[in-house]
Amino acid sequence: MQPHFDHTRVLSDLIGLVYDSALETDQWRRLLEGICDLFPGHMAITGTFDGPHFVGLYTPSGFVTERFKAEYDENWYDGHFIGDQADYATERAEILRRDPPTLGRVRSSRDWYTDEEYRQSEFSRIFMEPGGTGHWTSLLFALNGARLAAFLFFEIDDDPAEKDAAGLRSLLETLSPHVVRATRIARALHMAKEAAETYKGFLDAIALPLMITDRDGILQTANSAGLRLLERGELLKLTAHGRLSMVDPDGSEGLYSVLRAVRKDDGPHGFRIDHHDGEVSLCVAPFHPAMSTHLMSERDVFDCEQLLAIFAGTHGAFRLNAGLLRDVFQLTDREAEICAAMVTGRSPAQIADRSGRAEKTIRNQIQSVYDKIGVNSNRELAEALSVFRTVGAMFDSDDPYLFRPRSLPRQ
């Protein structure tokens, strides 16, 4: 049976509602309500799963049966199931083995069960029958490893309305690409907002160039010095897909090896790069910001995602990298060279002699360095720049498994 509505007009309205509803505080509520209005005898929720386990059930208000609500209040706490689902997990694991989840796909309990088989399934026994609901149709809109989020439309057993499961499925298949796209847009906007409000200020308070990536090296955010390092393009760069890489291909292999090591043991690792501007030490460490999103299904699916922090600095045995000084303090090339020389103990006269410039010019540039860094003496300058050496000091640089020297070609 096909629903009785102007298909073209309603579909256009629903597609618009997909994108609006994705950005609501009570995400997806209006969209799910609108679809349920078109298909009587159904109720809808957003459900999250971790492999074979049912994790969360988020029920927008206004269209849930009293029987289902009572069951929900008894067996779910803060959206998460608190009962025993061991038998269901075994049953779902077998289904996942036979039919792995795919982003954007629409599925139905009828794809896997006859009516009799479904009524005897653990999912029906544990979750559906107590709430007075039967067969379901789902749209998987978020997927992260074994974790996923989906719309779940349940047929209400006690509702006499004829259930148009085929029409519902057809509509969801049409809406699917828009729901997936809207989910990604909402996630990106929320992450940008959260980064700006929650830890962007923290990142910029860190003097060292710092970049945050996902487990595969895809850049998520960076502090100002980290962005300048990337823009400079002498050590690190971004691929067309946003993945962090070294300018030198051999260096990239070293970086990715370190990323794998951090993912494996959840501890810090690093390596050293020889460069004409001065040695650079990279430290990669786990980064675990608290995910404060109000989008509950997003938290269930993506809060477990591992992020990595990449710091750039210098080991104490090597001179400061002039490029990093430019990135952090926005020094000119000449000012960065003078700053690095001063930290080694050279006097203005020695710097002038080596550079072939007038000592007065060198002293003027030294004052400019002081002003930009916010110090008034060589001692204060050395203290301010000591943060660069903390990256190398985190490790024993003689350990070949932590710091592997790699040379980049002179430019």
Regarding predicted confidence, which is higher, 85 or 364?
Answer: 364
Residue 283 neighbours by CB under 8 Å, 6+ apart: 268, 269, 270, 310, 311, 313, 391, 394, 395
Q: What percent of the chain has pLDDT over 90?
A: 21
Give me the pLDDT at residue 396, please: 41
Structure confidence at residue 405 (pLDDT)? 37
CA atoms within 13 A on the CB side of 189: 13
- In this prediction, residue 35 carries a pLDDT of 93
Q: Cα separation of 172 and 195, whole Å?
A: 33
What is the tens place of the pLDDT at every residue in 79-121?
777 777 888 888 888 888 989 999 999 999 999 999 999 999 9
How far, in Å, CA of 168 to CA of 375, rounded?
A: 68
**Residue found by looking up tokens 């030490």 in the block:** 281
Which among 138, 85, 310, 150 is positioned nearest to 217, based on CA atoms?
A: 310
Percent of the chain with pLDDT over 70: 81
pLDDT over 50 at 398, yes or no: no
Position 139 pLDDT exceeds 80: yes
Q: What is the pLDDT of residue 406?
A: 39
pLDDT tens digits for 60-69? 545 567 788 8
Mean local confidence (pLDDT), 143-155: 90
Q: What is the model's pLDDT at position 191?
A: 62
pLDDT at 189 over 90: no
For residue range 21-51, what is the model confidence (pLDDT) as tens digits? 888 878 898 999 999 999 999 999 898 998 8
Count of beta carbons in the 10 Å neighbourhood of residue 163: 20
Instruction: Evaluate whether 404 touches 271 at the Cβ level (below 8 Å).
Output: yes
Q: Residues 206-407: name the CATH superfamily.
A: PAS domain (3.30.450.20)
CA distance linking residue 299 with residue 374, whole number of Å: 41
Residue 68, SS3? Answer: helix
Cβ neighbours for 365, distance < 8 A, ≥ 6 positions apart? 334, 335, 338
Q: Whose CA is closest to 242, among 214, 284, 210?
A: 214
Which residue's structure tokens are 């998460």?
80
Q: Which of 323, 332, 331 is nearest to 231 (CA)?
A: 323
Q: Where in the sequence of the chain do the CATH 3.30.450.80 domains occur?
A: 7-188
What's the token pair of residue 35?
Answer: 């679809």
pLDDT, tens digit, 9 for 90 and up, residues 223-273: 888 888 899 888 889 998 889 998 887 778 888 888 888 888 777 787 777
Fold for 7-188, please state it: Beta-Lactamase (3.30.450)
Q: How many CB atoms lie within 10 A of CB 271?
A: 24
Task: In the chain, list all ranges with CATH 3.30.450.20.
Answer: 206-407
- Which is more confidently placed, 75 or 411? 75
